């Protein structure tokens, strides 16, 4: 695994919020928090899905107001 120096994306572990399946977690996010994310399992082979089971990816190439609204929505989940 490598740690990138920067990106338009943020990867977060949804397990502390009770998630065990990133896909299910991401499908519930729009209703629960008004936010959209992509499960990292969408980008890995079946052999590696268990390693990424609770990781989700958020895009940060948005207007500041959009990011602030997303932060507020995600904060409501904690």
Tell me the per-residue pLDDT of 29-60, one tens digit each, with 9 for 90 and over: 999 999 999 999 999 999 999 999 999 999 98
| CATH match for 9-75 among 3.40.1110.10, 3.40.640.10, 3.40.1670.10, 3.90.1150.10 | 3.90.1150.10
Structure tokens at 73: 């929505």
State residue 5's pLDDT score. 73
Structure tokens at 34: 């008004």
State residue 8's pLDDT score. 85
State residue 28's pLDDT score. 96
Tell me how far apart the alpha carbons of residues 54 and 13 are, in angstroms, rounded to a whole number.
Answer: 6
pTM of this prediction exceeds 0.85: no
Structure tokens at 35: 């936010």
Q: Identify the H or E element spanning 9.
A: strand 9-13
Complete edge-to-edge strand list for the sheet that includes strand 55-59: 9-13, 55-59, 38-39
């Amino acid at each position: 695994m490598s740690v990138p120096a920067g990106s338009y994306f943020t990867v977060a572990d949804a397990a502390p919020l009770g998630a065990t399946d990133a896909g299910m977690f991401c499908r519930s996010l729009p209703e629960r928090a008004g936010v959209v994310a992509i499960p990292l399992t969408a980008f890995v082979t079946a052999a590696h899905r268990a390693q990424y089971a609770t990781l989700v990816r958020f895009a940060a190439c948005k207007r500041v107001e959009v990011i602030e609204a997303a932060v507020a929505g995600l904060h409501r989940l904690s």
